Structures are given as C-alpha cells and as structure tokens.
Amino acid sequence: MTALLEFQDLKVHWPGKSGGFGKPKHVTRAVDGISLTIQQGQTVAVVGESGCGKSTTGNAALGMAPITEGKILFEGRDLGRMDKSERRALWQDMQVIFQDPVAALNPRMSIARSIAEPLVVNGWSKARIDPRVDELMALVGLNPDQRNRRPTALSGGQRQRVVIARALALSPRLVICDEPVSALDVSIQSQILNLLLRLQRELGLSYLFISHDLSVVRHIADRICVMYLGIIVEEGPASQVFATPRHPYTRALLSAIPSPDIRQRGRRDRILLTGDLPSPMSPPSGCPFASRCPNVLAECSAARPPLEAISEDRKLRCINPDGHLRG
C-alpha cells in the first residue's frame, strides 16, 4: 500500500555565514536524515525538545524549508519534482494548523472571512463560499452568531477552532499540526484534541502531529517518532513506546509526564538530563545524545548508530539501551 506521505532520508541543512572565498562557515543540520511514513487515516507524532528539527520537518513537507537531500513523497509523487501548478494543487490535499492562533489570524478580518480565505484564493464563488463557511463553523463547534466577530473577541480555544476550520476549508487529506495546543490552557487542550480526533474519524484525515509534550501525544498518536538533534532515535506504535520505551532519551521525556494519579505523584523516578541540547551547527561526533546520556559507553562517540528494527514494528538508534556497565 502506497503511503500518503513519506519522508525518505530527508535532510534540511541551512548554510551559515561565509567563511571567506564563498565558503560557508557553518552548516546548521536542522534535519539530518529522517525517514518515516504516514498512512491514510493515521496520526504520526514527531516529538522532541525545542530545536530538535521537528517543525522544520513539517515545513519541508509544506515547501517552506528547502530540501538539501532525500525525498518527500505524497502518494508516491516526489514533492521536489513538482512544478508550481502541481504544488498549488497539492496544497488542497495538505494543510497546516500552527501553534499560535493569534499570529495565524488577521485581527482585521472577521471569523467568516478568515475561514473563507482559502476558498477565495482558489476561485470559489460567493454563492458557494457562504454555505461552506457555515458548514465549517458547525463542524468545529463555532456558533453562527460568531461569523462577524474579530479574533480578539474570541477565547484562545475558539480562535484555534477558527484556524482548524480554515485548514479544513478545501477538504484536505493530510493536516500538519505544529504544536496545535501548546498555547492553550490544559482544560482547553483536551477539547481541541478531542475535536481533532472526531474530525479524523468523520473526515478520514491523516495527521503529522508535531509536539514537545508526550502527555499530549499520548491522546492522539498512532505512531511516535522521537527526534533528537535532527534524527529519529526511536519509532514505534504509541502504545508500545509508552509502555516500554527503549531509548534513554525517550525514557527521560516520559519520566517528566505528571502522573494523573495523585497517589503516584513524586514516586516516579525522574530522569534528569545534564547539559543542554548540542548545537545543530556543530553536532557531536558519534551518537548526538552521548553528551547527555546516562547509559553512555566509550564507543558511543565513535560513530552514529543506525536506526535499526528491534521488532516487526519498532526501530531504535542506540547501542546501549539497557544501561550496561561502561567499557
């Protein structure tokens, strides 16, 4: 079965300032060789700390970040080989929900105009636009009397519903959700996540869900790709990754999730990582996580370990996941 969206050894490197004679001084390895697939109706989450390259991955699929190496395929079609007209047609199948609904909406536009914007750009007539806007507002739980309000008159959750309605205007098949609930209160986050799940069931949507928060991802993802410094270090079904995390970085991220059971709070062993995320301009040799890893061995700095299958449906990039004694 052909994947809906597929990344094949994707690299996005940003050249730095010239070091003289036209040579780049530094290269920022924002994404440094990742491969993943999203099937129709599936949610694949890419998680990791800020600066790990997860948003750049989504931007590359949207054509907002240039591909240095590798391919991005949509139903087998190479996005890098599409001309402008093909890419424009593809945008109807691929839309995005950004993190900050305040920045995503024009404060001078009414809610109805914001939702209608992609329809206007694609040449829809007013006779078709008005009922479609009403349909979209009802779909995301907005009231008809909110049509003529401005974004500043709405709550954060309502504004994000407007952003979601606009993303769905052209009936996409894939939606890239870039930290879609991180700017919202926790109580509102659950409402938006439930809305996204309902829309997925009703419309058959696929999601590339980008987040730094594994407690959010737990409620929506089918598969999880844990990303660190431009590469994937662990991948697998969400239920398995949460139940039996294998990579030390995944364990550290999971240990930071508060327990919903008040009796268990404070009992879970928290894994505190030392040091900061290394710079993608000068990544360490060998395993990029070695400088912060509690299971580090001498050989971890020799070469970057490959992402290898550890079961039929799981992959891991680590030579010492179980914390053997250092050699």
pLDDT tens track, the chain, 327 positions: 679 999 999 999 998 766 556 565 678 999 999 999 999 999 999 999 998 999 999 999 999 999 999 999 999 999 989 988 888 888 899 999 998 889 999 999 999 999 999 999 999 999 999 999 999 999 999 999 999 999 999 999 999 999 999 999 999 999 999 999 998 998 899 999 999 999 999 999 999 999 999 999 999 999 999 999 999 999 999 999 999 999 999 999 999 887 655 444 444 578 878 878 888 888 888 999 999 998 999 899 899 999 999 999 999 999 999 887 544
Distances (CA, A) of 282 to 16, 37, 233, 275: 12, 28, 19, 15
Q: What is the pLDDT of residues 88-126, one digit of tens each?
A: 888 899 999 998 889 999 999 999 999 999 999 999 999
For the entire predicted model, the pTM comes to 0.92
Q: Where are the alpha helices (DSSP H) in the chain?
A: 54-61, 84-90, 101-104, 111-121, 126-140, 156-167, 186-203, 214-217, 238-243, 248-255
> Which three-class secondary structure state does DSSP give residue 148?
coil
The structure tokens listed for 165 are 């309605």
Domains of the chain: 5-93+172-316 (3.40.50.300), 105-171 (no CATH)
Closest CA to 222 of 58, 44, 48: 44
